Amino acid sequence: MLGRTLSLLFDREIGMSELEHSGYKGIALRLLQAAGCQVGDIIRVISKDRIYEGILIPRAELCDAASIIVKMKSGYNVGVTAFEGVVVEKIGVGVKPMFTSPLLPKQNSVLPRVVIMSTGGTIVSRVDYRTSAVRSVMSANDLYSVVPELSEIARVDTEMVFSMYSENIAPKNWTELACKVAECIKQGVDGVVVAHGTDTMGYTSAALSFALQNLPVPVIFVGAQRSSDRPSSDAAINLIGAVKVAGEAPFAEVGLAMHETVSDSVIVVHRGVKVRKCHTSRRDTFKSVNGFPIAKVLDQKVIMESGDYQRRDASKQLVLKADFCEKVALVKFYPGMDPAVIDFYVNQGFKGILLEGSGLGHVSSVCFDAIRNATAKGVVVALASQCIWGRVNMNIYDTGRDLLSLGVVALDDMFPETGLVKLMWVLGQTGDPEEVKQLLKSNIAGEFMLCTFPQEKIVYEGM
Amino acid sequence: MSTVDYGKIGLKIGLEIHQQLNVGSKLFCSCPPELVKDEVPEMTFLRRLRPTQSELGKVDPSVFFESQKGVKILYEAHRKCACLVDMDEEPPHSLNREALKVVLTAAFMMNMQPVDEVHVMRKTIIDGSSTTGFQRTSIIALGGWIKVGEKVISMQAVTLEEDAARKIGVEGDGKIVRYRVDRLGIPLIEVATAPVMYSPLEAQHVALAIGKILRDTGKVMRGLGVIRQDLNVSITKGTLVEIKGVQELELISTVIEYEVQRQLGLLKVKDELGSRGITREVLKPVFVDVTDIFRESKAKVIRKAVDKNQKVLAVKLVGFAGFLGRELMPNFRVGSEFSDRAKFWGRVGGIFHTDEMPNYGITAEEVAAVCKAVGASIEDGVVFVADTAENTFDALKAVVDRAQEIFDGVPAETRTAKEDGTTRYMRPRPGASRMYPETDIPAQAITEELLQEVLANMPEPAEKKLARIMEQYLLNEKLAKQILDSEWVKMFEEIVKETGVAASTVAAFLTETIKALKRDGIAVENVNENQVKALFATIGSGALAKEALAVVFSWLAKNEDKTVQDAIEALGLKMFTEADVELIIDHVIAANKPAIEKNGKGALGMLMGLVMKEVRGKANPELVNRILKQKI
């Protein structure tokens, strides 16, 4: 279906899609076929003595009502219910709805070379006539062409790796993406930008942080919370910021660039393993958790936020370790949780379980037997806190100590999502239980901070 | 002016009446539809809007236009009436069903036919008035007619849409525009007529009739700024011009008269220039830097710019001498037409042109020097402007573009109405290609159940209501009609019911008195409905004399955010208590002992007069009468 949508919108050589792919069904489809109408034609619909004239617009398949959508001269769409007795006439051939890219701007040879890789998501999305909802269909190339400012920042190449909603992206896609990025970097680009849906962008940025080691140049993830087909989209500003950072920032790590606040002013770059989506819809949804941003972009300038980063150095040799184990589960503890949940994963042959414990790192003692059984069978059980903010410390209460004695690995200040990705990555690297534990505890990509600092401004408020 | 034969010139007018709906919450979220008066905003955020291609793959000219200005928008928001939806930080919630019902009600009152399915559209407007860069709007019903006098007026459509943010101001050399988002999202009904009105006055009558229908739904907002009339005006040889934001009904005919004048004037200028052999091609965008001429100038505006290291740029308009100063509307010349464009495109404060020179402290010598610099002869006009290099260039380019458009006649554009009835350039006329489907809201069927629900709750028909009001409140026909025609009829019934104040008192105040106060320049719209209710409640309770209505109301209009109690205290209108009145009466009786002994009950009238004089309106006459009777 997505393929259909793509050709409908992008294949400029192919004519209008046939009616049966336009979403019309049943009586509406029959009436339109009988009148010889195609989407984009100018039609007249006469129903209950009312006359509607305008362009035939594709129908959202997901709607039940059998109605014909007409875009009237005023630009408004209206739906006309189709039933026997409704008259449909084709009165002209109209403009077919499609998106035309402006010409690509010229490239300046002194500017850094940046590759924008597209994986899908809001940042590369437009209206889908099939569902009338927003869909990821724009290629990175289209995106570049509608953000001409990029031509003043970098020489941009674009590559479409895949076009997926981010919730459909799986560890095997991380592997594919990591390999593509590595290929680009080996060809000597000055930076890579990955356009990604925001829902799971934090997972992917963590995954690539582990998979791409000893980076010579930055790899910057970027997304948008408002689709790029609306004037208020954050896509252009985020993208401009990301390309700027990828092209010229002094660091060489995996970062994630998005709005710092609800204003279109500062773009902030978070460390790939320390960033989490924290709001369903706001532009500043991504926050550094138990860590601080690496850099900011303000007024077209990259400003480093600390001196603690891996330096950009074109002579560095990239190490690619792109294997992930998919047999890893994220299990969130909750009051009354049945330990059978843990048994299930063990019986299914899972290699690792990331427990999302409460508070400083606890789960009910009711689960102890199941956990003991898991570790005895060689399943790696690691624990991060569902509090999101703060550090796990399993030495404070009996429960924590008991869990440690059962072989649970405490993931300190890693929040659960990064913990999960790391467990997948570690198990993709080695099967040896001791090596796994040792790797889990080593700081690979800045996922551990030795101390946790307050992230908000703390103000002394008087007596 | 009065001699214009509107039939002969082919005047056609269509109306678009917008009115805010009072349904308790905004159109796509549950925030209350309130405006915030506080100077200091609770939150601010900065945004930029970019043009996008619409569904049909075209960039709309008016959208492109706004984007050319490169402005940033600073929004002001307050939590009590704006949430993440209004900030464009959260997708819209579903369409306010109450608002939909009100629009359907109005549609039925105008004999319109509801559509089967509502599709919310995005009307792209990137001037910043919407945080999204578009206004959400949807057609609810089509066709229909109303009767105005003897004439049947065809209707085109009724739409339900969201109101825009309020513009607060412009700063940073015109690069930052401030908007307040409180008004954004308030539901608006828009009623569009067919272009079937043929005289200015007729248009005004139809607007009045539609306004009344909307009020009869009982669900529209009251007060200043809640109703806005847009006019589509064309004459045969001219162009369709859209005039936005006429707030006063009484102004409609004047606005149309002026617009006709403007269009006729422009056509005349075109003909005269043509007969002088002037063509579009001779007008060239050749700009000359004349800054040096003004280094020591006495003209304040220009010197200010020059001293700031800005520029003075000039352009010659071949053959335009005498035309720049030609009046098109009162205080609005061809030069003003050019100036509007320069202000908009070039972000400048205004332009200077030779037809108004010497003036503003600019000397004849300076003018001569400018003319010489651009090579202008006595028959040419010269326009010059002082500002930054970028702004002066954009401004003069806009001036030349507009001058060239003279040869097309009347440009198709959107204009905005001023308080005096004249209009100003706003932007090019938008096309259909700025309409884009709102993908965040699924299409919504208008079901038979919904229609039946609306039909079962239609407001009382006008004639029936008149008869009922006359009978129920014992009002004469004139007063009953007046209250029905006013925007207060719902309030009137509520006040009478809740306060027990005589219906005739309430009706007379809400119609005649308020109208008179408004005429005297009192800002009556500053007094809100709750204050009016509280005012009558105070009178109903006997704590205030009804004679004090107007003075308290006026005080409230001048002292915003104060209560009726504050007004009474400030004005010294506190009523005497019964004990106070008794004391006064005892005093009066004691002082008039001989007369009372002589006349007995016959002294009542005289005593009454004396007591009332003493209490100066601060006691209820009935109360005084009762106590007096007891005492003598």
**B258-273 confidence digits (pLDDT tens):** 999 999 999 999 999 9
Put simply, the answer to whether B52 touches A228 (Cβ < 8 Å) is: yes
Residues 6 or more apart in contact with residue A168 via CB below 8 angstroms: none
Residues A138 and A182 in one domain: yes
Which CATH number does the domain housing residue A25 bear? 2.30.30.520
Residues B210 and B345 in one domain: no
Nearest beta carbon to residue B443 from set A79, A263, A264:
A79
How distant is the Cα of A141 from the closest Cα of chain B, in angstroms?
Answer: 16
Cα–Cα distance, A407 to B10 (Å, whole number)? 91
Write down the mean pLDDT value for chain B.
Answer: 89
List pLDDT tens digits, range B401-457: 999 999 999 998 999 999 999 999 988 777 666 788 888 888 889 999 999 999 999
pLDDT value of position B84: 97
Which CATH number does the domain housing residue B602 bear? 1.10.10
What are A155's strand-pairing partners? A113
pLDDT value of position B526: 84
Put simply, the answer to whether B55 touches A233 (Cβ < 8 Å) is: no
Helix (H, G, I), strand (E, B) or coil at B514: helix
pLDDT value of position A380: 97
Q: What's the burial of A359, exposed, middle or buried (CB within 10 Å: 0-12/13-18/19+)?
A: middle
Residues B311 and B382 in one domain: yes
Name residue, tokens 């938008």: B430
Which B positions 60-89 lie with beta carbon below 8 A of chain A?
A: 63, 72, 84, 87-89
Domain endpoint, select from A257, A292, A320:
A320
Helix (H, G, I), strand (E, B) or coil at B50: coil
Helix (H, G, I), strand (E, B) or coil at B435: strand
pLDDT value of position A331: 98
Backbone angles phi, psi at B582, to 5 degrees: -60, -40
Residue B87 included in any domain: yes
Residue B415 included in any domain: no
Percent of chain A with pLDDT over 90: 62
Residues A334 and A312 in one domain: no
Strand-by-strand arrangement of the A295-298 sheet = A155-160, A113-118, A191-195, A219-222, A254-259, A267-271, A295-298, A301-304
Name residue, tokens 């019964």: B578
pLDDT value of position B486: 80
Domain endpoint, select from A61, A92, A123:
A92
Residues A45 and A151 in one domain: no
Residues A304 and A344 in one domain: no
Residue A408 contacts residue A381 (beta carbons within 8 Å): yes
Which CATH number does the domain housing residue A332 bear? 3.40.50.40
- Name which of B171, B160, B153, B184 is nearest B35 in CA terms: B184
pLDDT value of position A131: 43
Name residue, tokens 């359907």: B104
Least confident window among A159-173, A302-316, B162-176, B574-588: B574-588
Residues A171 and A237 in one domain: yes
Least confident window among A366-380, A411-425, B469-483, B587-601: B587-601
Residues of A in contact with B113 (CB under 8 A): 48, 50
Helix (H, G, I), strand (E, B) or coil at A66: coil
**Domain span at residue A220?**
113-320
Residues A385 and A276 in one domain: no
Q: Which amino acid is at A385?
A: S
Per-residue b/e over B576-615, b at no fewer than 16 CB within 10 Å? beeeebbebbeebbeebeeebeeeeeebeeebbebbbebb
Residues B223 and B354 in one domain: no
Residues B313 and B236 in one domain: no
List pLDDT tens digits, range A136-157: 555 556 666 677 788 889 988 8
Binned at pLDDT 50, 70 and 90, residue A7 comes out as very low
- Name which of B530, B520, B524, B462 is nearest B491 in CA terms: B530
How distant is the Cα of B225 from the closest Cα of chain A, in angstroms?
Answer: 26
Residues A314 and A340 in one domain: no
Put simply, the answer to whether B119 touches A69 (Cβ < 8 Å) is: yes
- Name which of A333, A353, A334 is nearest A345 in CA terms: A353
Which own/partner pairs from B480-484 qualify as long-range (CB within 8 Å, at least 24 positions apart)? B480/B507, B482/B507, B482/B511, B482/B512, B483/B507, B483/B510, B483/B511
Cα–Cα distance, A68 to A80 (Å, whole number)? 5
Residues B212 and B285 in one domain: no
Put simply, the answer to whether B90 touches A237 (Cβ < 8 Å) is: no
- C-beta atoms surrounding A386 within 10 Å: 15
Residues B528 and B623 in one domain: no
Which A positions 127-166 lie with beta carbon below 8 A of chain B?
A: 127-128, 132-134, 146
- C-beta atoms surrounding A33 within 10 Å: 15
- Mean pLDDT across B77-102: 95
Put simply, the answer to whether A76 touches B159 (Cβ < 8 Å) is: yes
List pLDDT tens digits, range A367-405: 999 999 999 999 999 999 999 999 999 998 889 999 999
Residues A155 and A292 in one domain: yes
Residues B42 and B178 in one domain: yes
Residue B256 included in any domain: no
Residue B179 included in any domain: yes
Residue A379 included in any domain: yes
List pLDDT tens digits, range A201-245: 999 999 999 999 999 999 999 999 998 778 899 988 999 999 999
Beta-carbon pairs below 8 A across chains A and B: 149
The answer on pLDDT for A125 being more than 80 is no
Residues B55 and B184 in one domain: yes
Residue A105 included in any domain: no
The answer on pLDDT for A14 being more than 90 is no
Task: Judge whether A282 is closer than 8 Å to chain B, CB to CB.
Answer: yes
Residues A315 and A341 in one domain: no
pLDDT value of position B433: 63
Nearest beta carbon to residue A74 from set B116, B432, B436:
B432
Helix (H, G, I), strand (E, B) or coil at B310: coil
Residues A265 and A303 in one domain: yes
Peptide bond before residue A58 is cis, with ω within 30 degrees of 0 = no
How distant is the Cα of A68 from the closest Cα of chain B, in angstroms?
Answer: 9
Name residue, tokens 């034969």: B5
**ipTM score here?**
0.88
Q: Which amino acid is at A357?
A: G
Domain endpoint, select from A278, A293, A320:
A320
Residue A152 included in any domain: yes
Residues of A in contact with B56 (CB under 8 A): 55, 95, 97
Binned at pLDDT 50, 70 and 90, residue A13 comes out as very low
Residues A22 and A57 in one domain: yes
Residue A402 included in any domain: yes
Residues B551 and B618 in one domain: no
List pLDDT tens digits, range B502-517: 898 999 998 889 889 9
Q: Which helix (H) or strand (E) holds A117?
A: strand A113-118
User: How do A254-259 and A155-160 pair as beta strands?
Assistant: unpaired
Residue A233 included in any domain: yes
Task: Judge whether A236 is closer than 8 Å to chain B, CB to CB.
Answer: yes
Residue B46 included in any domain: yes
Pick B597 or B251 by higher pLDDT: B251
The answer on pLDDT for A22 being more than 80 is no
Residues A342 and A378 in one domain: yes
Residue A85 included in any domain: yes
Here the tokens at position B421 are 């009835």
List pLDDT tens digits, range A268-282: 999 999 999 999 999
Cα–Cα distance, B426 to A370 (Å, whole number)? 72
Q: Which amino acid is at B109?
A: M
Backbone angles phi, psi at B609, to 5 degrees: -60, -45
Residue A8 included in any domain: no
Binned at pLDDT 50, 70 and 90, residue A171 comes out as very high
Cα–Cα distance, B30 to B288 (Å, whole number)? 56
Query: B87 to chain A: nearest residue by CA?
Result: A262
Which B positions 435-454 lie with beta carbon below 8 A of chain A?
A: 435-437, 439-440, 442-443, 445
Put simply, the answer to whether A230 touches B132 (Cβ < 8 Å) is: yes
pLDDT value of position B410: 93
pLDDT value of position A12: 29
Here the tokens at position A109 are 């040879």
Cα–Cα distance, B191 to B158 (Å, whole number)? 5
Residue A190 included in any domain: yes
Put simply, the answer to whether A75 touches B433 (Cβ < 8 Å) is: yes
Residue B260 included in any domain: no
Residue B263 contacts residue B328 (beta carbons within 8 Å): no
- DSSP string covering B181-202: TTSTT-EEEEEEE-S-B-SHHH
Residue B1 included in any domain: no
How distant is the Cα of A274 from the closest Cα of chain B, in angstroms?
Answer: 23
Put simply, the answer to whether A98 touches B57 (Cβ < 8 Å) is: yes
Residues of B in contact with A78 (CB under 8 A): 115-119, 139, 142
Residues B80 and B203 in one domain: yes
Residues of A in contact with B434 (CB under 8 A): 75
How distant is the Cα of B206 from the closest Cα of chain A, in angstroms?
Answer: 22
**Domain span at residue B523?**
460-571
Query: Domain tally for chain B?
Result: 4
Q: Which residues of A are catalytic?
A: 122, 198-199, 277
Query: Domain tally for chain A?
Result: 3
Domain endpoint, select from B240, B260, B289:
B240
Put simply, the answer to whether B55 touches A282 (Cβ < 8 Å) is: no
The answer on pLDDT for B147 being more than 70 is yes
Residues B371 and B519 in one domain: no
Residues B530 and B582 in one domain: no
How distant is the Cα of B51 from the closest Cα of chain A, in angstroms?
Answer: 5
pLDDT value of position A11: 29
Residue B437 included in any domain: no
The answer on pLDDT for A35 being more than 70 is yes
The answer on pLDDT for A40 being more than 60 is yes
Query: A80 to chain B: nearest residue by CA?
Result: B116
